[in-house]
Structure 1
Amino acid sequence: MEAEGGESPHEAFAIKLNRLFKSVRSETGEAYTPRAVSEALTQRGRKISPSYLYQLLKGESEPGYAVVEALAEFFDVPLDYFANSARGRELNTQYEVLAKLGDNNVRELAFRAQNLTPEGLRNVLRYMEFEEHRTKDDEHTSE
């Protein structure tokens, strides 16, 4: 059985779980590690080893419902996040954007944008649109 993007269900789950590790931050702002997630889940009465989490992240194992439920609860996402449904795809798109916001360059851009005037911010957005079109044009000419 294949997931929507052509990957196996193990790989599809791994992609979604990796996205959560990249987009959801701890209270200190740090990215979670499999060890930290394992320890937190164990404290909540849900024993999942770090090595099993690594297997899930690599797409080497398929989790049972209880594991999916525990991970959804830990990362504070609806169970639908892991589903291959319209709602699941919508949630994944949202978390993909959050993962990109975790990128240092994007965070710096957002941080610095708060000091711009409305006109300055419009200029930055126009420049970003220009770069986006230029990049797409470069990709088409190189094909």
Structure 2
Amino acid sequence: MTTLLHPLCALVAVAALLYKIGPLRRAPRDPALWTLCAVHGFSALSFTLSTPAVWVAVDRLTGVPNSAALLAQSCVMGLIVAQWALFDRMLLPPARARRNMLRHLLVLCGVVAALAVLFVRLSSSGEQFSTVTPGGRRPYSTEEVARSITLTGVPISASYIWLLRKGHRDNPTLRHVEALAQFFGVPPTYFFDSGTESEVTGDLRLMAALKDAGVQAIALRASGLSAKSLDSITEVIQRVRELEGLSEYPDEPCEG
């Protein structure tokens, strides 16, 4: 739904903004017209940034998952402040409207700053998929997975994915299962068959570990050794992991 609704609303807002350009050129000092243009401009930006294709493109461009969400919500706050200012221009004396405008701008700056702080805190502690991660980037966030899958034509929300991960929803549709499997590059049976899950999880752990240059060097040097020598190396590595307080496998929680 958002793939059609948000672009349509953005087009309407842009059309309204363009419609006001003519009057603004004729009366460039009219503060009410400038405020009305700000309303249309912030509305167009918020809907554009909320479009799944644009959302994913902005995240890819910045390299920060959900950065488009921060920008979109900031535009929404800008829209609210512009609406307040427009009402002031319509209902209050000019001098009082100007004073209120300064207060509105201070509120906008404070709210955007708070959104930025909240965004940073949530980004560092949010739900992430750490097993399957492309090289050179941080793990996928739940919101990023939802946006990318929605972009393929299968609408799904981040909250629904979170509920699936936590076990609060246990009957996803076939389309959602296939879309999730395709996104992560696993067979659909991974989500239902314990045997497939164990096999694929082992492969994913191996691929994740082999991204480490040091692990690659050890694996290459161990190639061609006898089974007895490999067993000895495995025992040594396991002992070192125990000494460093690490679990048997990288993705398992450490004891203590």
> Could you say whether these structures have the same fold, taking a TM-score greater than 0.5 normalized by the shorter chain as the test?
yes
- How has the CA–CA distance of structure 1 residues 54 and 131 changed in structure 2, closer, same or farther, with 3 Å as cutoff? same
Match of 1:109 among 214, 227, 230: 214
- The alignment's TM-score, normalised by the length of structure 2, stands at 0.34
Does residue 1:34 correspond to 2:142, yes or no?
yes
How far 1:51 sits from its partner (Å)?
1.1
How far, CA to CA, are the matches of 1:32 and 1:84 in structure 2? Answer: 23
How far 1:38 sits from its partner (Å)?
0.9
Indicate the structure (1 or 2) with the bigger Cα radius of gyration. 2
Higher helix fraction (1 or 2) = 2
Task: Tell which has more relative contact order, 1 or 2 (C-alpha 8 A, sep 6+).
Answer: 1
How far, CA to CA, are the matches of 2:160 and 2:221 in structure 1? Answer: 49
SS in 2 for 1:87: helix
- How has the CA–CA distance of structure 1 residues 113 and 60 changed in structure 2, closer, same or farther, with 3 Å as cutoff? same
Query: Matched residue pairs, number?
Result: 111
How far 1:131 sits from its partner (Å)?
5.2
How far 1:98 sits from its partner (Å)?
4.0
- The alignment's TM-score, normalised by the length of structure 1, stands at 0.56
Which residue pairs with 2:195 in the alignment? 86
SS in 2 for 1:91: helix
User: Once the two structures are superposed, what CA deviation does each residue of 1:104-137 show, in whole Å capped at 9, x if it has no partner?
Assistant: xx836326648x977xxxx9x85652352585xx
What's the RMSD between the two structures over aligned residues?
A: 3.8
How far 1:24 sits from its partner (Å)?
1.4
How far, CA to CA, are the matches of 2:215 and 2:198 in structure 1? Answer: 26
Unaligned runs of 5+ in 2: 1-126, 223-228, 243-256
User: Once the two structures are superposed, what CA deviation does each residue of 1:17-65 show, in whole Å capped at 9, x if it has no partner?
Assistant: x9x9222124643211111111111111111111111112222111222
Match of 1:74 among 166, 170, 183: 183
Task: Check whether the contact 1:23–1:98 (CA below 8 A) recurs between aligned residues.
Answer: no
Residue type of the alignment partner of 1:40? S
Which residue pairs with 2:151 in the alignment? 43
Task: Check whether the contact 1:38–1:48 (CA below 8 A) recurs between aligned residues.
Answer: yes
Residue type of the alignment partner of 2:137? G
SS in 2 for 1:94: helix
Identity between Structure 1 and Structure 2 (%): 28
